[in-house]
Structure 1
Amino acid sequence: MSVHAPRPCCHAGCGRLIANGSYCAVHQVAAEERRAAQLKAANKRYNRTRDESDKFYSTVAWRNFRNYYLIVNPLCVDCEADGVIEPAKVVDHIKPFKEHPELALDESNMRGLCRAHDNRRRHDRRGRG
C-alpha cells in the first residue's frame, strides 16, 4: 500500500492537511450533504422527462404480474437457448409496451431475461453498441 503526502482539505479556505480522501472530518459531512442534494435534483429533472407510458411499470398490476411471471418462468430464455442456466431478473415485452399497450399484461408477449441479455437487447433496440 502506498503512502501519499498529506494534502489540504478541498473545502475553500480550510488549510487542514489530510492523509486520504478529499475533505477533513469537519467538512466531510457537508460535502456528502451537497452531493446528496445534487443527486436528488438530477433525479427530479430526469423523472420529469420520462415518458408517460413508463408510469405503467410502477403500477401494482405490473408488479404483481412480474412477480407471478418470474415464479412461473424462472430462467432467462436467451441463456437457456445457449445451454446455460441463469435466473431471469427482468420480464421483457417481446412487442414493446409503448407500441402495443394492449399487450401490457399478456403472457404470450413476455420473456424472462437475465440482466446481461436485457441490457444487450435494450442497446440493440436503441441502436447502440
Structure 2
Amino acid sequence: MQDKRGTRYCAPEKNHHAKNSRKPKKRRDTGALLIEQLSALAGAGHNIKMIRERRWASISFSGVRHKILISRQPTSVAQDMSRSLAATITDHIFDLPGHFVADIVVDDRPEQDHSIIVEILTIIDPVAS
C-alpha cells in the first residue's frame, strides 16, 4: 500500500487489536494484596477502597503506610458488624510475600457512616529479600 506521498507501508493485520488486546495486569503490590485479603475478610456487602499509600522509613526499615476505607450500606446490624470486623482485622495475619505487617490501627466509627478506616504499616522483610 502507498500513502499520498507514495511512501510504501504494510497494512496492519485485520485482527491486530483483538490479537494484542489483553486485560490489564492486576496490581500485585502490597496494597493490592491488602485490599484483596480485606475483601475476603469483610465479605459481601462491603466496599473497600485504598485512600492513600505513603512511603515510610526508619533508620533500619522501609515500607508503606496504607490507609483503607471499608464501608457498608447502613442497616440495623451494620454497627455490630463493623465492630466485629474491626476486631477481626486487628487479629488477622496477612499473607504478604516479602513484607510483614508492623502496625494496624482501626478507626471504627459506625455511628457516623457505618465505615471503618484501617491504617496498616507494611515493612519490607529484610530476611525474605
Range into which the TM-score falls when normalised by the shorter chain: under 0.3
- More helix as a share of residues: 1
**Which structure's relative contact order is higher, taking Cα pairs within 8 Å and 6+ residues apart?**
2
Q: TM-score, normalised by structure 2?
A: 0.27
More strand by percentage: 2
